[in-house]
A and B are shown apart, each in its own frame.
Chain A
């Protein structure tokens, strides 16, 4: 849900005679209650008013912030299990392990995450089709950053 939509919902709710409303859309759920100024999100982090702190901005240090936070109904994310640098290929001049549209068998490598000079190879945990590659080669990823959008096959 866009923040704009959420704010509009809050405004309408405020004016209404209702004491509680549960709003569901696209797998997300928002509960609003009167007598409380807070939103209890279940699908997404609570929207926060911006802190009036000079120099502060909410972007994570990694480049992964532009990765999408949602995937299609029939797909799922493969997420980074550690903090590191994302590499699509075993060596700079080697071809990538996987391309968009590839089918990958369980146990085959998907990418490398480099952490503290160690190259950690990450393998598919199940047979899958690569729907999208979400991080650019050589970018930093956080713990939990979506790396691939995949479909089980």
Chain B
């Protein structure tokens, strides 16, 4: 078993990992930048090591300092958290070469899943439905046009190394295709140092539904049901729920089986998410997030499985504590992300409480939210017997939450939760843009 864990991350995910480690009797060392000296994870961890100045490039992305901090502070493992270096195979290799356990999949698996073209091909080879598209990269405009006409406009051009919407372009008319290919490739080159792009059919206003996986790396792979993350702004998820209002029991078992088959086929270790688009009752593989995700608590609250704990067990070479037959779905959970729209000192902070409420945050009254990092400051998760009860509880809990001193999206989240279309569950990924246009936000 892992005895001592370096946490190469910050904010709420660092707090989240420390909590499980403390319950498991694992010593925690938090690596932090100079801007995070007063942060909650630094205060909570058993030990802490400053690994660089405020800019992430010199601290949370500084492979040498992170690995050295892990070795010199006597850790036997490193948890990358989410974001930063969590899906960087070079980092995972450096961690392993230094003799530490990397809490995540093997570097070769990270490499494969990070290449969207190879990942899609792996899924297709295993008989998992994928969005119709080019089998590999596209560069020739004429060839691209022929392909686009075979599966029909609109099409989307994506960066092979992509993520976060960069290098992604929708093309509705054949005449635009050649120009868009060039622009997307240039954008991908700038963002990811790799101009390779591919093309697939663009699904209008689909649902974003993902399957949570835990795997022990020895062939045991269990899925914890789905999360519906359709409420997004510019590809940034804002509200995540489980079960999805559009997933039937039949579709759920198909998606679950597909996700398990894919990650078992890859020899996957730890926590991962297989993302699908769902349109008209059919699911299409999109990509795998080879790490724990921000919205993992939703699945934890539905299934009662501590995902971070399973990750640590798997990384230690132990077995998972759960079998597929024991996974109980049926109750409801939803998460609202609380994002800061300004940095600064939190003058007042009151966390909601009561029955069915969980708050994952690193805020405290008096804390200075630094301007350097991700804007996520809290995750409010609530449970309910069903969606209606859960959403009423979320509205109630959002009403109790007080964060003063910084600007947040609490009010906007309240409006989304109260919106009749959200309550009905009848929308696609364009929902947020549409209601913003209506002036509802």
Contacts and interface: CB of A to CB of B under 8 A. Distances in A.
A85 B72 contact: yes
Contact of B65 (A36, A46, A51, A143): A143
A62 B31 CA distance: 12
Contacts of B29: 61
Contact of B72 (A36, A37, A62): A62
Contacts of B74: 61
B297 interface: no
Contacts of B47: 57, 59-61
A89 B50 CA distance: 24
B49 A142 contact: yes
B44 A143 contact: no
Contact of A140 (B34, B38, B72): B72
A56 B46 contact: yes
B51 interface: yes
Interface of B, secondary structure class, is mixed
A144 to B, nearest CB: 5
Contact of B38 (A46, A116, A145): A46
Contacts of A83: 49-51, 64-66, 68-69, 72
Interface string A52-85: 0111111111100000000000000000001111
B90 interface: no
Contact of A115 (B34, B59, B68): B68
A84 B347 contact: no
B68 A36 contact: no
Given A48-B38, A57-B46, A115-B65, A140 B73 contact: yes
B330 interface: no
Q: Which of A36, A51, A61, A142 has the most CB of B within 10 A?
A: A61
Contacts of B34: 143-144
A51 B44 contact: yes
A55 B24 CA distance: 13
B40 to A, nearest CB: 8
Interface in B85-99: 94, 98
Contact of A116 (B50, B64, B365): B64
A36 B346 CA distance: 11
A46 B365 CA distance: 12
Given A45-B38, A61-B29, A116-B64, A143 B50 contact: yes
A38 interface: yes
Contact of A45 (B37, B45, B94): B37
B43 A56 contact: yes
Given A61-B73, A143-B51, A143-B53, A82 B65 contact: yes
A148 to B, nearest CB: 18
B22 interface: yes
A118 to B, nearest CB: 8
A82 B64 contact: yes
B217 interface: no
B272 interface: no
B366 A144 contact: no
A51 B74 CA distance: 24
Contact of A62 (B43, B49, B59): B49
Contacts of B67: 116
A61 B49 contact: yes
Interface in A119-143: 140, 142-143
A113 B68 CA distance: 11
Contacts of B38: 45-46, 48
Contact of A36 (B22, B43, B66, B347): B347
Interface in A23-46: 36-38, 45-46
Nearest to A85: B72
Contacts of A36: 347
Contact of B48 (A38, A46, A48, A60): A60
A145 B68 CA distance: 15
B270 interface: no
B167 interface: no
A61 B66 CA distance: 13
B243 interface: no
A83 to B, nearest CB: 4
B345 interface: yes
A62 B73 contact: yes
- The 3 A-B residue pairs with the shortest CB-CB distance, nearest first, are A61-B73, A61-B47, A142-B50
30 contacts: A36-B347, A38-B345, A38-B347, A38-B366, A45-B37, A48-B38, A48-B43, A53-B22, A56-B44, A56-B45, A59-B47, A60-B47, A60-B48, A61-B29, A61-B47, A82-B64, A82-B65, A83-B51, A83-B69, A115-B68, A116-B67, A116-B68, A116-B94, A116-B98, A140-B72, A142-B51, A142-B69, A143-B53, A144-B50, A144-B53
Given A60-B49, A142-B69, 17 more contacts: A45-B37, A51-B44, A53-B43, A60-B47, A60-B48, A61-B49, A82-B64, A82-B65, A83-B49, A83-B65, A83-B68, A115-B68, A116-B67, A116-B68, A140-B72, A143-B50, A144-B50
Interface of A: 36-38, 45-46, 48, 51, 53-62, 82-85, 115-116, 140, 142-145
